[in-house]
Structure 1
Amino acid sequence: VFIIFSGVLISRLIVEEYNDKTITLMFTYPISRKKIILSKLIIIIGFTLFFIVWTRLILFFTVNLLNNYFQFIIGEVTNASILKHFISTIIYDFSASGVALVPLFFGIKKRSTRTTIITAIIIAFFLGAGNADQSIGSFLIVPMTLTAIGLFTAYLSIHNIERTDVL
């Protein structure tokens, strides 16, 4: 869900501004184009990471509260198990924020908001694919590899932005 959310943010904050040519106004300021796009990407990654962590915390406290009344978790929930689970999910949260950068490459290349959002949906389906117990995204190497690909594609998207023309 948050990868798709990030794809929508990328399409609204970056790709759509290229299509509407409203980014040319931003590029007239005496700030480098790379810094402008990089700051937008940091905002997108920050929002995505914040909302992923915030949602996990809300779910944790809700499940913990409901478990106190209904006892649907078998066994004892210890602080060590909570900390271990929290550390492993933080790694996945950071990787989800990095994976969310992959649609930027396709969106900038095609200058299409649809392409950006569809790429985000395909990546989200790819990471969620699997059987009932495990998904492809549950293996740590897959999201970490996609994070590296996301960072690399973000670099490819903005490394040449000073010399490319918006029009």
Structure 2
Amino acid sequence: MFKLMFLEWKKLKRHSVIGEVIIYWLILMFMPMFFIKMIMPAFGQSYASAIELNFFIQLGFILFGGSLINQVFIEEYKNKTISLSFRYPISRKKLFMAKVLFISLFVFLATMISFILTGLTTYLLDQVFPIINGQPTDSDISTYFSSMIIGSLIVPLIGFIPLFFFAIWKRETVPTIVCSIVTMQLPNFSSFTNFKPEFVIAVLCILGALSIYLSIKTAESVGEI
């Protein structure tokens, strides 16, 4: 399985993907302080509030997941290179599972690094330009690391929502990306409904898991060229 995952990495446009990840990191590193200063000063009342804001900002990596789905699945269908993979002496279910695991690991690591970079940047900037009230407590630090682990796990899962229908079934890039954009924004708009953000995120995680299950379960039939 690891060899198949490594093969997916070798097939990627690596310079393009690495450049995309760096852009995400650079943008998200400064987003919490920008939002607190310019848009949502209420989140600067404490580090606990800033940590909550940062969690939702990191959901932006759901879009990166959609970008990887496009490269790992859709582009291979469009340029017919996936037909070569189908000739490997392995089942298509195993091949699809390797692709899913590769995307999951990549997005997980990218999100976790983003949490670390954003946390350090927010703290250091706040020391130079005090915006957040008070200083982070031991409880805040513990909460942040918990948020980092949970966020790094749910972002890849939610990111797979467009996989089955838009990527494997329809094989369309634009709807896949649009679905990722809408999905990452839904928890932020939960305040306009009667649903709590946690409930929305839980539902999105279930949909992501269902999309993965259907993609692997039907790989032999839906995976046809």
**TM-score normalised by structure 2 residue count:** 0.66
Equivalent position of 2:214 in the other structure:
156
Q: Does 2:127 correspond to 1:43?
A: no
Identity %: 33
1:105–1:157 contact (8 Å) kept in structure 2: yes
The one-character-per-residue Cα deviations of 1:78-132 (angstroms, maximum 9, x if unpaired) are: 122111132134223311211100010222121212221121122123233256x
* Per-residue deviation, 1:66: 2.3
Equivalent position of 1:109 in the other structure:
169
Size of the aligned set, in residue pairs, is 165
Superposition map of 1:135-154 within 5 A = 139-154=197-212
Partners of 2:193 and 2:102 in 1: CA distance: 29
1:137–1:143 contact (8 Å) kept in structure 2: no
Partners of 1:76 and 1:65 in 2: CA distance: 11
Partners of 1:165 and 1:4 in 2: CA distance: 24
**Which of these residues, 186, 202, 213, is aligned with residue 126 of structure 1?**
186
* Per-residue deviation, 1:52: 1.2
* Per-residue deviation, 1:164: 4.4
- Unaligned segments of structure 1, at least 5 residues: none
1:92–1:143 contact (8 Å) kept in structure 2: no
Q: Does 2:224 correspond to 1:166?
A: yes
Q: Which of the pair is proportionally richer in helix? A: 2
Could you list the structure 1 runs, at least 4 aligned residues long, displaced by more than 6 angstroms after superposition: 134-138
Partners of 1:117 and 1:64 in 2: CA distance: 32
Residues 112 and 70 of structure 1: CA distance in aligned 2, closer, same or farther (over 3 Å): closer
Equivalent position of 1:95 in the other structure:
154
1:10–1:44 contact (8 Å) kept in structure 2: yes
Residues 13 and 62 of structure 1: CA distance in aligned 2, closer, same or farther (over 3 Å): same
Select the structure with the greater relative contact order (CA < 8 A; seq sep ≥ 6). 1
* Per-residue deviation, 1:60: 0.9
Q: Does 2:44 correspond to 1:24?
A: no
Partners of 1:99 and 1:151 in 2: CA distance: 8
* Per-residue deviation, 1:138: 7.0
**TM-score normalised by structure 1 residue count:** 0.86
- Unaligned segments of structure 2, at least 5 residues: 1-59
Partners of 2:62 and 2:148 in 1: CA distance: 15
* Per-residue deviation, 1:58: 0.6
Q: CA RMSD in A?
A: 2.4
Q: Does 2:134 correspond to 1:75?
A: yes
